[in-house]
Structure 1
Amino acid sequence: MNHEQLSAIAHTHHPVKAPLDDESVRRLLEQGLPRGDERILDLGCGGGEWLLRALEAHPRLHAEGVDISPDALDLARRNALRRGVGDRLALHHRSAGEFSSPHAFDLVLSVGASHAFGGLLPTLAAAREHLAPGGRVLIGDGFWDREPSPEAVEMLGDFADLATTVDRVVAEGWTPVYGHVSTRAELDAYEWACWGTIASWALDHPDDPDSAQALETAAARRSEWLHVYRDTFGFLTLLLRRTAD
């Protein structure tokens, strides 16, 4: 079973691929879409859940998503049709870093996808290339809530603490106009959902040739979370505007 297949199973009951609950997602989108008729872009959209929820909430909205996974884009396309918003969603199968568009966007999202650009600040630089004057960027990435172990840094990346993360964003010419720090409940719910869903799938499909691998993966990832990074990792989602262009 490859990574995409595991990810699809893991997010069956938590389609937003980040540690945010439904109310947090709703509130962030509400702040990011003050008019309700914006054109929005998600760089690294995966299954497109952020875009689908925005389109459902705002019938005058138009959205585009970019991702390298054809399976994720197929899922987004099917769900968009099922939820009645397919006519206002365009999906692009390509690297987010290579995407170009003839028009700019009022809101550019990239939540939990900074690895595709090499970190938070490169992600912001990429988002800026697509941003209309006066537009907003909604970005989510990790930070260290406490001093991490070397093992945690090697596993998840070289994040900064919360204050330093925000300071670095501001130093690049961005002004936070809203934000959300994921709660312990959101962080835990996300991890339990991902690894519990994979484990349940394995137990429900004992004759599948991938069942043993899936169960081992769920156990290993659950152990890494509990023993390596649960007490140190945090997640920050920021709504940003340019300080000056």
Structure 2
Amino acid sequence: MNREQISRIAHTRHPIKSPLDDASVQRLLEHGVAHGQARLLDLGCGTAEWLLRALSAHPEVRAEGVDVSTEALEQASEAARARGVQDRLVLHQQEAAAFTAPHTFDLILNVGSSHAFGGLLPTLDAAAAHLAPGGRVLIGDAFWEREPSPEAVEMLGEYGDLATTLDQITAAGWTPVHAHVSTRQELDAYEWALWGTLADWALDHPEDPDSAQALETAAERRSEWLHTYRDSFGFLSLVLRRTAG
């Protein structure tokens, strides 16, 4: 069982692959989609759940998603057909950092996948290249809510605290027009959903050759969360506009 298969099963009950509940996602999209005929681009869309929700809520919005995963894009395509929005969604299988388009976009999304560009600020630089005048970026990334342990930094990477993260963003020429810091309930619900769902699948499929690995992975990931980063990890989602001048 590879990482992608594990993620697919684990996210069955939490299709938004970040610690955000449905109400938070809806509010972020409301602030991100500035008008009903907006053109959206998700750089690192995965199964395109953000785009699917935006398309379902706004019947004239059009969207494009970029991802390297064949399986994720197949899921996205199938879900788009099921929701009746397939005619307004274009999916591109390629590296997000190499994507080009003949037009610009009113909203660029990148939530939880800034690693595709090498970090938060490079992601914003990439988004700016696709952004229409007056457009917005909806970005979500980690920060350290409290001083992390060396083990947490080794596991998850180098991040700043909330204030430092915002200072870096504004210094790079962006202005937040909406923000959401994931609550403890959202953070915990996300982790419980992932590893509980994966464990549930393993226990429901004892004859599957991947069952033992799935159950072991669920236990390992749950332990890492509880013992290594639960008390320090935070997640910030922002709607940004370019600062004038």
TM-score category of the 2 structures, normalised to the smaller one: over 0.9
Name the CA distance, whole Å, in 2 between partners of 1:19 and 1:36: 27
SS at match of 2:108: strand
The amino acid that maps onto 1:98 is A
Instruction: Name the counterpart of 2:77.
Output: 77
Q: Deviations over 1:177-203 (max 9, x none)?
A: 000000000000000011111000000
Give the TM-score normalised by structure 2: 0.99
Matches for 1:126-205 after TM superposition, within 5 Å = 126-205=126-205
Spell out, residue by residue over 1:61-96, the C-alpha distance to the aligned partner (whole angstroms, 9 max, x if none). 000000000000000000000001000000000000
Q: Which residue of 2 aligns with 1:112?
A: 112
For 1:2-42, what per-residue CA distance to the aligned partner results, in whole angstroms no more than 9, with x for missing partners? 11100100100000000000000000000111212100000
Give the Cα–Cα distance (whole angstroms) in 1 for the partners of residues 217 and 244 of structure 2: 46
CA distance in 2, matches of 1:195, 1:49: 20
* 5+ long unaligned stretches in structure 2: none
What CA distance in whole angstroms lies between the structure 2 residues aligned with 1:37 and 1:230?
40
Question: Which position in structure 2 is the counterpart of 1:49?
Answer: 49
The aligned counterpart of 2:20 is 20
State how far apart, in whole Å, the 1-side matches of 2:34 and 2:104 are. 17
Q: In the alignment, residue 3 of structure 2 is paired with which amino acid?
A: H
Aligned to 2:95: 95
What residue ranges of structure 1 are gaps of 5+ in the alignment? none
Question: What does residue 243 of structure 2 align with?
Answer: 243
Distance 2:211 2:51 in 1: 32
- C-alpha distance in 1 between matches for 2:179 and 2:86: 29
Paired with 1:127 and 1:150, the residues of 2 have a C-alpha distance of 31
What's the CA shift for 1:112? 0.1
Aligned-residue RMSD, C-alpha:
0.6
Tell me the equivalent position of 1:67. Answer: 67
CA distance in 2 between counterparts of 1:34 and 1:95 reads 27
CA distance, structure 2, for counterparts of residue 222 and residue 123 of structure 1: 29
Partners of 2:33 and 2:83 in 1: CA distance? 20
Question: Which SS does the other structure have where 2:51 is aligned?
Answer: helix
Structure 1 stretches of 4+ moved >3 Å: none
TM-score (norm 1): 0.99
Deviation at residue 244 of structure 1 after TM alignment:
2.7
The one-letter amino acid of 2:75's match is L
Q: In the alignment, residue 109 of structure 2 is paired with which amino acid?
A: L
Amino acid at match of 1:180: H
**SS where residue 240 of structure 2 aligns?**
strand
Matches of 2:12 and 2:228, distance apart in 1 = 25
> Quick one: distance in 1 between partners of 2:35 and 2:63?
14
Instruction: Give me the identity figure in percent.
Output: 71
Equivalent AA in structure 2 for residue 127 of structure 1: A
Note the alpha carbon deviations across 1:196-223, whole angstroms, 9 max, x for none: 1100000000010000000000000000
Give the 3-state SS of the residue equivalent to 2:234 in structure 1: strand
Give the Cα–Cα distance (whole angstroms) in 2 for the partners of residues 68 and 13 of structure 1: 23
2: CA distance between counterparts of 1:176 and 1:33?
Answer: 15
Q: Which amino acid aligns with 1:85?
A: V
